[in-house]
Amino acid sequence: MLTLPELSYDYSALEPHIDAKTMEIHHSKHHKAYVDKTNAALEGTEFLDKPIEEIISNLDQVPEDKRAAIRNNGGGVINHNMFWMCLSPQGGGEPEGGLKSAIDDAFGGFEPLKIKFTEAALTQFGSGWAWLVQDGENLSVIKTSNQDSPLTMGETAIAESPLRPILCIDVWEHAYYLKYQNRRPEYVEAFWNVVDWKEAGRKFVDK
């Protein structure tokens, strides 16, 4: 059974960049709904007690009539679990250490990465996510629709091409609409002030 994880900071802790009401609804309603619906879909199957990352990475083994529900809701669980960890009241600034070097190599510096990641977040049509991922020794920026994640990339099995998520931003309207309405660019700009680069650095595997 999946449970809704506690946040390591208060709903108001990311103000003014991400407002408390948005955080509260996003976590206690949206994220919780993904948890509940995933549990409901897994009920009575052999997958109920397996890690959701493993289930999502092997969707073809899930009963066909459950597959869409688990892809969408289980993906929502994984993506939001990660998203909260990408944020911190002490966030902002720039990456350091091995991650900084890898960003310099892959994008030519932090500013070019910001531009590329922002562009992915702004051009994701409709609901979805933008990601900084590690693929072997390389870093790249990708975007996914709905609740697909780098672990699924749609129907692609992770085992053949594992992408390690380093940083993500939720660009579903529920992530920003209360404060920013249709102004997604302002939300993405504000996001950089609360990015937890220490956590991103921990997710990065220095080869």
d(CA 15, CA 8): 15
Contact of 131 with 150, CB cutoff 8 Å: yes
Q: Is 191 in the site for Fe ion (CB under 5 A)?
A: no
Q: Is 187 in the site for Fe ion (CB under 5 A)?
A: no
**29 or 50: CB nearest Fe ion:** 29
Q: Which of 22, 52, 170, 180 binds Fe ion (CB under 5 A)?
A: 170
Show the CA angle centred on residue 107, arms to residues 131 and 76, nearest 5°.
Answer: 0
Could you say which DSSP state residue 87 is in?
B
Q: Determine if the peptide bond prior to 112 is cis (ω within 30°).
A: no
Total binding residues for Fe ion by CB under 5 A?
Answer: 3
Q: Is 172 in the site for Fe ion (CB under 5 A)?
A: yes
Per-residue interface string for the shown chain with Fe ion, residues 120-159, x marking contact by CB under 5 A: ----------------------------------------
In the structure encoding, which two tokens stand for residue 45, read together? Answer: 């199957």
* Stretch of residues binding Fe ion (CB under 5 A), selected from 153-161, 164-172, 184-192, 196-204: 164-172
d(CA 42, CA 55): 10
* Stretch of residues binding Fe ion (CB under 5 A), selected from 62-70, 102-110, 167-175, 189-197: 167-175
